[in-house]
């Protein structure tokens, strides 16, 4: 899909990867709506970047996404690109020391934020009926567990991968779908810990507000838009991810070959085939 001149909506767009994507899109002649819950970041965008349309949005609330979609369609006349990019981190602790409240907060933003975005924008994009693309920001943590101390975060990003792949399989071909899987990026995601709502355990202090390691957000934005152009489902940004993806796949294939037999009769209960047939009978993809 060519991005030049398209109409785009980016959640979590007022900083980091989202803002870098917005800059790239504007440079390609696109009209861009930046949505974010961070009013201060939106205010900075309003004073520093006159080319963006700004909208305050809380992705944990479906009604907020509904309002955003209504604004985008009424203002732009339609939407061609959606970036479900909003996300948060969590305190670095062993899994057994992490709190349920913080885990629920991470799932509310990272998982249900994407859920609401797909549920709200998906039907509108399908009804619009034109070539379009939706990109979900996952993580290298969607395809592996790069490091300890991120249990609930890892779970949220794994869940996002399953959700995004299902969405891709169930929607028409004119709606392209990608999951962006960046590795370490210099963003202010750690500062999100200082904004944890009281209902989810309250704020946590963090030693730094911005990671000084990793790629720049602009490097990730270049990869993201190249992936859209190529219509890739997986969009990777760090070559080092190859090793841990290969390690996991090797472990899985090895276990299957040790523990099962090619002619063990499991073909009759092949879930992919069985549910694929049911899907066909239901009328195939959501039209």
The catalytic site residues sit at 153
- Can you say whether the dihedral through the CA atoms of 109, 110, 116, 120 is positive or negative? positive
List b or e across 206-223, with b for residues whose CB sees 16 or more CB atoms inside 10 angstroms: beeeeeeebbebebbbbb
Spatial distance between the Cα atoms of 238 and 183, rounded to a whole number of angstroms: 6
What is the bridge-based pairing of β-strands 31-36 and 81-84?
unpaired
If we measure between CA atoms, which residue out of 214, 137, 217, 122 comes closest to residue 176? 122
Spatial distance between the Cα atoms of 114 and 116, rounded to a whole number of angstroms: 5
Tokens of 183: 């590795």
Residue 58, helix vs strand vs coil? coil
Distance of CA 273 to the CA centre of its chain: 28
Distances (CA, A) of 159 to 31, 91, 111, 141: 31, 19, 7, 10
If we measure between CA atoms, which residue out of 11, 26, 28 comes closest to residue 67? 11
Q: Which residues pair with 8 in a beta bridge?
A: 32, 81
């Amino acid at each position: 899909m060519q991005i030049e001149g398209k109409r785009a909506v980016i959640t979590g767009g007022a900083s980091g990867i989202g803002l870098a994507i917005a800059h790239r899109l504007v440079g390609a002649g696109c009209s861009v709506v930046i949505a974010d819950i961070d009013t201060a970041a939106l205010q900075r965008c309003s004073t520093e970047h006159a080319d963006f349309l700004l909208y305050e949005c809380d992705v944990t609330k479906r009604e907020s996404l509904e309002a955003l979609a209504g604004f985008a369609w009424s203002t732009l006349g339609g939407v061609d690109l959606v970036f479900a990019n909003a996300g948060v981190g969590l305190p670095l602790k062993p899994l057994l020391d992490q709190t349920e409240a913080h885990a629920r907060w991470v799932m509310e933003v990272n998982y249900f934020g994407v859920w609401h975005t797909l549920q709200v924008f998906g039907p509108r994009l399908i009804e619009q009926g034109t070539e379009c693309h939706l990109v979900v920001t996952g993580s290298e943590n969607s395809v592996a567990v790069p490091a300890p101390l991120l249990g609930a975060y890892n779970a949220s990003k794994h869940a996002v991968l399953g959700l995004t792949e299902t969405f891709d399989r169930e929607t028409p071909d004119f709606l392209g779908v990608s999951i962006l899987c960046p590795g370490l990026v210099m963003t202010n995601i750690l500062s999100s810990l200082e904004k944890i709502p009281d209902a989810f355990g309250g704020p946590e202090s963090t030693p730094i507000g911005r990671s000084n390691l990793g790629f720049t957000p602009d490097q990730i934005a270049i990869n993201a838009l190249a992936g859209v152009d190529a219509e890739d489902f997986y969009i990777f940004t760090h070559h080092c991810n190859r090793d841990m993806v290969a390690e996991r796949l090797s472990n899985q294939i090895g276990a299957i070959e040790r523990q099962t037999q090619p002619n063990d009769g499991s073909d009759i209960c092949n879930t992919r085939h069985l549910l694929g047939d049911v899907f066909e009978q239901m009328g195939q993809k959501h039209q």
